[in-house]
Amino acid sequence: MKILEKNKEKIVFAEEMSESLANAIRRSALEIPILAIDEVEFYKNDSVLYDEVLALRLGLVPLKNENLELPEDCNCEGKGCGKCSIQLKLKAVGKKSVLASDFKGKAEVIYGDMLIIELAEEQELELVATAKLGRGIWHAKYSPGLVYYRNAAELSINKNCDKCNKCVESCPVKILEMKKEVELTDSYKCDLCEACVETCKKHGKNAITIAPGKEIVFFIESCGQIEAKDILIESIKALKNNLKKVEKA
């Protein structure tokens, strides 16, 4: 595995693997248990948004994952208890921007400056939200982040090339360079847009071909609940668990 970029929020790596395996890992990310607001009880809402719309917004506020039971595995059978749920309270009055940091409770909000609603004078908002673990296959609010992939690019030049340099100039990500012939300086950054191929054809040539290579470039961008590397690790664990279930079946 070749690491191209790595930090808490994002990992990009390249590896020779089949697209079916890459897609299986991508899909398995939606089976990682993630904490999100699942139920909201409104006591007061004078804002411009209906309760249902505001509840949807609250469900998308990223919360740091806690060591809780999944509702389906808890002894309370999903009714909600201290082992499988966390309560957050929010109360705001008057003209102000209500932010995610205004929540009070044991769950940690990842992005405190995330805007929830703007209140006008004399408007009031009071609610109690219940956060639970869930999986992205149930609802998008439980997605740990963005997981996607594409093939690294392979470039080939034939004898029709007259080194006019037009294809190099047309590359939007500037990864083509003219040396003895046109060369791809970074095959991992190429997104196969084929701007260079189209430019070559416009100038009456058909000298350049760019195609998907054997290597897969894999991207993981975390929403903040867990680190990007943990999304990869937990996705592979989920995939292995599902394969064990298939073997038993």
Q: Where are the beta strands (DSSP E) in the chain?
A: 2-6, 10-16, 34-45, 85-93, 96-99, 104-105, 115-119, 124-134, 145-157, 176-178, 182-184, 208-222
Please identify, among 95, 111, 142, the residue that sits at the C-terminal boundary of a domain.
142
CA of 213: how far to CAs of 14, 189, 209, 245, in Å? 11, 13, 12, 33
pLDDT at 75: 84
Q: Is 68 exposed, middle or buried (0-12, 13-18, 19+ CB in 10 A)?
A: buried
Task: Give yes or no: residues 164 and 93 share one domain.
Answer: no
Please identify, among 91, 119, 142, the residue that sits at the C-terminal boundary of a domain.
142
pLDDT at 234: 95
Contact (Cβ atoms closer than 8 angstroms) between residue 39 and residue 139: no
pLDDT tens for 144-178 read 999 999 998 888 887 777 777 777 777 888 877 78
CATH code, 54? 2.170.120.12
Q: How many domains does the chain have?
A: 2
Is 75 a domain residue? yes
pLDDT at 11: 95
Closest by Cα among 73, 163, 41, 225 to 176: 163
The torsion of the CA quartet 174, 178, 181, 182, rounded to 10 degrees, works out to 10
Is 240 a domain residue? no
Task: Give yes or no: residues 127 and 39 share one domain.
Answer: yes
Task: Give yes or no: residues 51 and 130 share one domain.
Answer: yes
Rounded Cα gap, residues 54 and 40, in angstroms: 9
pLDDT at 60: 92
Contact (Cβ atoms closer than 8 angstroms) between residue 125 and residue 55: no
The torsion of the CA quartet 19, 25, 27, 33, rounded to 10 degrees, works out to -170
Which residues of the chain are under the pLDDT cut of 70? none
Q: DSSP string covering 32-59, please?
A: S-EEEEEEEEEEEE-SSS-HHHHHHHHH
- Domain range for 196 is 2-29+146-220
Is 238 a domain residue? no
pLDDT at 73: 82
Provide the token pair at 58.
Answer: 């609250």
List the beta bridge partners of residue 220: 11, 147
Task: Give yes or no: residues 39 and 121 share one domain.
Answer: yes
pLDDT at 214: 87
pLDDT at 104: 94
